[in-house]
Amino acid sequence: MTAERIQQFIGECKKEIFDSLNLNELGDEGLEDQIELIVERKLGGAYVTIEERVKIVQQLFSSIRGFGLLDSIMEDDSITEVMINGPQDIFIEKAGRLMKLDQQFESERRLEDVIQKIVGMAGREVNQANPIVDTRLPDGSRVNVVLPPISMKGATVTIRKFSKTPMTVEQLIKYGSITQEIADVLELLVRAKFNIFICGGTGSGKTTFLNAMSNYIPKDERVITIEDSAELQIVGVDNLVSLETRNANASGSGAVTIRDLIKSSLRMRPERIIVGEVRGGEALDMLQAMNTGHDGSLSTGHANSTRDMLSRLETMVLQGAEGLPLEAIRQQIASAVDIIIHLSRLRDKSRKTMEITEVVGYEKGEIVLNPLYVFQEDENSTLEKVSGGLVRTDNPLINDFKLQLMGYKGKI
């Protein structure tokens, strides 16, 4: 049976299911049994492979009770991102490469039904009054939805898939993002409660890296995570509190922002605060938390370099406190942030750690940086394939006071 004929057959079965069954009275198992009976009867003597038969039943069931076409896409572990630009244009990312799928939603109405189901499961709402929403799937995958007329081509859904296995430093080493030597240094920095910022472009692996770094947090500490949509996978920490923002309701009230959550978390006796991503005025609250005894904080931000991250932080702080002198902002940043790690997605689609830099302090109106590790390409690099790794600079770590406090006598 051709793919086109299978889709036509599924449409015929679905019509009969809606016409002949009372879906409200059937549980999931009962519905699946009825679907199998209808499929068997309608197939008659037609030859269909076992795999095709199972696929037809699954598609029918998921189109009624699940997320329809999305279910089969989400089951494929090799897909890392899903981009739906209206009901007919569906793109996926596999192994860093984008490709368009042949499949499509039956209609704009069906796509919007799936969207409402996704958003409703997380207790959020999306509609004409609130056409943009960030939410997540039950498995933790991050979802962004934009409805028409804001989105010109129809409802747009972008899903960053949630890894079923939490990222570990061992995997980062295996993928060539860092070496064991650098992993040992990062472990020391996390355990010594250095405040660390991870920066990079979209899809460079910031959250993944943050997940891996969080494995170094001592298991007996109280950790509070703050995110727009919860996706951090911190394992092994018993005293863990995960907080998530909330959008305003249809009447424009009830919003809970990252800024609100940071302020609230300071009253929860945190030993570490992890902010999934800083992108606005909450940067000021984050820096103040780092400066008021909440060392060991971790966060991420969008930036194209370590120096660019500082400029972005200045801009974000100004969003939260207009009129604050630039000098005061820079002093705040210099005293709060200890280490900046820059990640990048390179020309061959690989994700690499490009730089690990120490923030030394504030001198003559500028924040002073001290690069510790810098990525260098080697002779095996080509236009299609990047080869190289982080190289230790000649610069020693200057601010080693926190290392001394933890009793470490060596040098980094």
**Residue 411 domain flag:** no
Distance CA 12, CA 10 (A): 5
Residue 348 and residue 313 share a domain? yes
**Residue 412 domain flag:** no
Of the three residues 110, 144, 163, the one that is the final residue of a domain is 163
pLDDT score for 181: 93
pLDDT score for 298: 94
| Pairing between β-strand 156-160 and β-strand 223-227 as defined by DSSP bridges | unpaired
Number of domains present in the structure of the chain: 3
Residue 180 and residue 203 share a domain? yes
Of the three residues 44, 65, 86, the one that is the final residue of a domain is 65
| Structural domain range at position 147 | 69-163
Q: In what order do the strands lie in the sheet with 156-160?
A: 97-100, 90-94, 79-85, 156-160, 142-146, 132-136
Per-residue pLDDT of the chain (412 residues; tens, 9 = 90+): 677 777 788 888 888 888 888 877 777 788 888 888 888 888 887 788 888 888 888 888 877 777 877 888 888 888 989 999 999 999 999 877 899 998 888 788 888 888 998 888 877 888 888 899 888 888 878 899 999 989 988 999 999 887 777 778 888 888 888 899 999 999 999 999 999 999 999 888 898 899 899 889 999 999 999 988 777 888 888 899 999 888 777 677 788 999 999 999 999 999 999 998 888 889 998 898 888 878 999 999 999 999 999 999 999 999 888 788 999 999 999 999 999 999 998 888 888 999 999 999 999 999 999 999 999 998 888 888 888 889 999 999 999 999 999 888 888 8
Angle ∠(124,127,130) on CA atoms, nearest 5: 75
Q: In what order do the strands lie in the sheet with 388-392?
A: 240-244, 223-227, 272-275, 298-302, 196-200, 339-345, 351-363, 366-377, 388-392
**Residue 259 domain flag:** yes
Residue 272 and residue 318 share a domain? yes
**Residue 410 domain flag:** no
Residue 304 and residue 196 share a domain? yes
Angle between helices 3-20 and 28-43 (to 10 degrees): 120
Residue 48 and residue 3 share a domain? yes
Residue 229 and residue 372 share a domain? yes
CATH number where 275 lies:
3.40.50.300
**Residue 350 domain flag:** yes
Residue 388 and residue 343 share a domain? yes
Residue 267 and residue 145 share a domain? no
pLDDT score for 302: 93
Residue 337 and residue 239 share a domain? yes
Angle ∠(322,328,331) on CA atoms, nearest 5: 135
Residue 240 and residue 109 share a domain? no
CATH number where 90 lies:
3.30.450.370
**Residue 337 domain flag:** yes
**Residue 244 domain flag:** yes
Amino acid at 360: V
Cβ atoms of 346 and 352 closer than 8 Å:
yes
Residue 383 and residue 293 share a domain? yes
Of the three residues 132, 163, 194, the one that is the final residue of a domain is 163
**Residue 307 domain flag:** yes
Q: What are the φ/ψ torsions at residue 272 (nearest 5 degrees)?
A: -140, 145
Residue 74 and residue 30 share a domain? no
